[in-house]
Structure 1
Amino acid sequence: MPDDTAAAAVGTLRLPPRIHFGYGARRQLPEVVRLHGRRVLAVVDPFLVGTPILRETVDALTAAGLGVLVHSDITPELPVDTLDAAVATARDYRADVVLAIGGGSALDAAKLIALLSAYGGPLHRYYGENLVPGPIVPLVAVPTTAGTGSEVTPVAVVSDPARELKVGISSPFLVPSVAVVDPEFTLGTPATVTAWSGIDALVHAVESYTAKPFGPDWPAPLPVFTGRNVLSESAALEAATRLGQWLPVAVHRPGDRRARHEVALGSLLGGIAFGSTGTHLCHALQYPIGALTKTPHGLGTGLMLPYVIDTLMAQPDAVARLAALGAALEAIPPAEASAARTLARVVEINREIGVPETLADIGLTPGQLPQIAELGLRSTRLVAAAPVEPSHELLLGILERAYHGALENRSVR
């Protein structure tokens, strides 16, 4: 068999059987929820309780003959012990479908409640990849922030005090049964939440599009994340197009309905892309950075993005892909794009939306960088997808440049 580019281009998509997007998409909820059961546990972000949009949603479900129990005791960053009461509630109620409405923590909580309701605990039995034994309680996911893409991805992340870092549970069985993405839910989101979640969505697009290819040899069992993916590349580029043009607008004009629509679509497309390919260096480094600084996930991945792009520019194949991302980001002809111009635009977007420029700005010290590099290297699933050979030296170099705000391609600053 000839070893050519076409033969090496492989792809896998694992997505909800139904995805609905756009203003008014929430009106599909009674129909899609009813397909999976009539006793609904609604896992809801606390800030939504008492809001007109949640009342409208619950009223529509009950009018359709569904029983709805709202559970809103969701803790940010999702400490593992906070799930116990929710799982007990789901079992006592005998929920046969879980409806998740909220940001990344609420959606991840709902995934794990659906998992533990089906198979029991302890949760650490499922840490890692492909350890969920089968289908979970059906899950309908409705995001209220535009960034995590959790409504279409096979992963949930929790904070476990027994571990130094957040822990991921990855399985195709965690992909929701239905994703309903209505930008109406994102109106009124604070500017900082819009910025951190939105820049994380852009990181998803960049890392998905630049991930290392794992094919064409198909291992068994197939990893949850399979590296560069010919089926998801167009989604990653389209996500970059939407986010590059509209994320700063959504941050500075939070009531702009067009901007909210475009950023929500960019986030969804980024989730579709990375849900199959995986992410790499920004995420591997953010987990220890976030643990040490207690800063939001998207702030960390966004801060690291220019420095990771700067590092990838040493790889000939990555340069071409970075240029393609830049053409999408700026909506310019490919002939005008370059990796350096992409880096410049990412730096500019970060400044426009308020992402800190350096690790020093978020309170880290030079002495902490080697530990961060070591912990980042332990995120084997993430660093395995990097298009460069991961090493402690490589990660430490990225961190040192991020600490000092020193990009090697200084012409873009």
Structure 2
Amino acid sequence: MTLFAAIRLPHEILFGKGQRHALPKVAARLGKRALICTDERFAATSTFAEIVNALEAEFVEVLIYDAVLPDVPQETVAVCVADARAFGPDMVIGIGGGSCLDMAKCAALLLSHGGRLQEYYGEFKVPGPILPIIAVPTTAGTGSEVTPVAVISDSERTLKVGISSPYLIATTAICDPDLTMTCPPGLTAVAGADALTHAIEAFTAARRGSDHALAQDHVFIGKSALTDHFALLAIKLLGRSLEKACRDGSDEDARADVMMGALAAGCAFGTAGTAAAHAIQYPAGALTHTAHGLGVATMMPYVMNYNKSTSAVEMAQIGSALGLGNQNQDAEQRATAAIDEIRRLFAAIGITPTLAELGLPADKVDWTAEQAFGIDRLIKNNPRPFDLDAMKRLVRAAYDGDFAASAI
């Protein structure tokens, strides 16, 4: 096989304890007026007040939009942009969880190109560069600080929708693990499990060739040498520290590992893409109104078991990244051990083990499978192909908790 690699990343990534203090100088290089997108909770903290004061001390005028809601309802983006247009920002700073970062991306898009957000749903609909974005995550999960996608909710649609374009990648990502120290155990678990799922799905994604047009025609292009590097780094860091961070939120080393793991996972899936676990979560999440990370993590072991017959070598490598000492076993045995470790880890941090316990109605199992099967950009990225019957069997197995049936 000819070596092939592709990756899209921010111009600058700053990671480490205290790196949030670099924000004022980073912002000052981009302009003099900054729109800040955050949520009500973080806006009320002393840390946020310190950030704003530091920006103003660097002669960066700020306009604060502190009403970001989970899943970014599309109508709220229009409100944010209407408030900001007269201010004329030179940049948009997103500070908070994934929704705050996605709001910053959407606001920068509409401030740059106008129109309605719905005009940009899908891939490559953004016509050109947008205002510079500085992404400052306060949770470790979505990887939105480095990805080319913004996920929003639209009241006219059952499922969440995405805007995917390389133009949405932040100019600078500033990742300071100290900002995650007060993240409660439940959120730490769900966000970290989301990141681990990103990494696993990116590493086991379909390999879709090396045609020069691939990355020009698609935002998410399957696995490659560079995305594999970041995915395995994420798996290693999250595998060794996610459980620790959930158990003891004051463990600085564990917090740093988990945040770097989420960042690396974002670097991987931002180009490689995700697959079946995400496809199933979109309808399941819409019906159960549960956190995205919880839904994808619930599905991940079942999807790994389904894919094992075609991805045993990759899953054996996942086992090695997780620190499993089973090198004398064959690839299938090592793959099985890797899946078992993911199941153990997710159980240890409180991830719901079945779609039934997630709250999916029994009469919506087939509907969930049908909707998931229709999300082509994710299904075509899965290493083992699906037909509708196979998808229905997988969703049913995850609903019943019949792990063995998920491999059929």
Place the TM-score, normalised by the shorter chain, in its bin.
over 0.9
The equivalent residue for 2:122 is 128
1:181 maps to 2:175: yes
Partner of 2:136: 142
- Counterpart of 2:277 (choices 274, 282, 299) is 282
Work out the CA distance in 2 between the residues paired with 1:57 and 1:140.
13
Within 2, Cα distance between the matches of 1:46 and 1:15? Answer: 29
RMSD: 1.5
- Paired residue for 2:68? 74
Q: Kindly indicate whether residue 254 of structure 2 is the aligned counterpart of residue 262 of structure 1.
A: no
Further displaced range: 299-308 or 159-168: 159-168
> What is the TM-score of this pair, normalised by structure 1?
0.95
Deviations 1:181-238 (A, max 9, x none): 0001111111111111100000011000000011122336331011011111111011
For residues 10 and 223 of structure 2, the distance between their equivalents in structure 1, rounded to whole angstroms, comes to: 20
| Per-residue Cα deviation, 1:232-272 (whole angstroms, up to 9, x for no partner) | 11110110011011101111111111111110010000000
Q: Give the SS at the match of 1:393.
A: helix
Could you tell me how far 1:377 is from its partner in structure 2?
A: 1.4
- Structure 1, unmatched stretches of 5+, are none
Q: How does 1:201-212 map to 2 (within 5 A)?
A: 201-212=195-206
Report SS of the residue matched to 1:212.
coil
Secondary structure at the aligned position of 1:313 is classed as helix
Q: Structure 1 counterpart of 2:109, which letter?
A: L
The 1-side partners of 2:204 and 2:362 are apart by: 29
Instruction: Describe the superposition over 1:336-378 as per-residue Cα deviations: whole angstroms up to 9, x where unpaired.
Output: 6700000110110111100011111122233211111111112
Counterpart in the other structure of 1:365: 361
With 201-210 and 50-59 compared, the bigger mean Cα shift is at 50-59
Structure 2 match to 1:343: 339
Q: Paired residue for 1:383, among 375, 379, 382?
A: 379
Q: Does 1:233 align with 2:223?
A: no
| CA distance, structure 1, for counterparts of residue 195 and residue 358 of structure 2 | 21
- Aligned residue identity for 1:218: H
Counterpart in 2 of 1:325? 318
For the residues of structure 2 that align with 1:330 and 1:357, how far apart are their CA atoms? 23
| C-alpha distance after superposition, 1:139-172 (max 9, x if no partner) | 0000011000000000001111111211110000
5+ residue gaps, structure 2: none
Q: Indicate if the aligned counterparts of 2:143 and 2:262 stay in contact, CA closer than 8 A.
A: yes
User: Could you list the per-position Cα deviations for residues 268-320 of structure 1 after superposition, in whole angstroms to 9, with x for gaps in the alignment?
Assistant: 000001011000011000000000000000000000001001101121xx001
The answer to whether the 8 A contact 1:241-1:331 is kept is no
2:51 maps to: 57
Q: What TM-score comes out, normalization by structure 2 length?
A: 0.96
Cα distance in 2 for residues equivalent to 1:273 and 1:177: 17
Is this contact kept in 2: 1:324–1:334, CA < 8 A?
no
| Of 187, 191, 207, the match for 1:213 | 207
Which residue of the other structure, out of 238, 248, 256, is the alignment partner of 1:243? 238
Question: More displaced, 383-392 or 219-228?
Answer: 219-228
CA gap of 1:125–1:409, structure 2 versus 1, over 3 A, is closer
> Does 2:193 align with 1:195?
no
TM-aligned CA deviation for residue 335 of structure 1: 4.3
* Secondary structure, counterpart of 2:30 in structure 1: coil
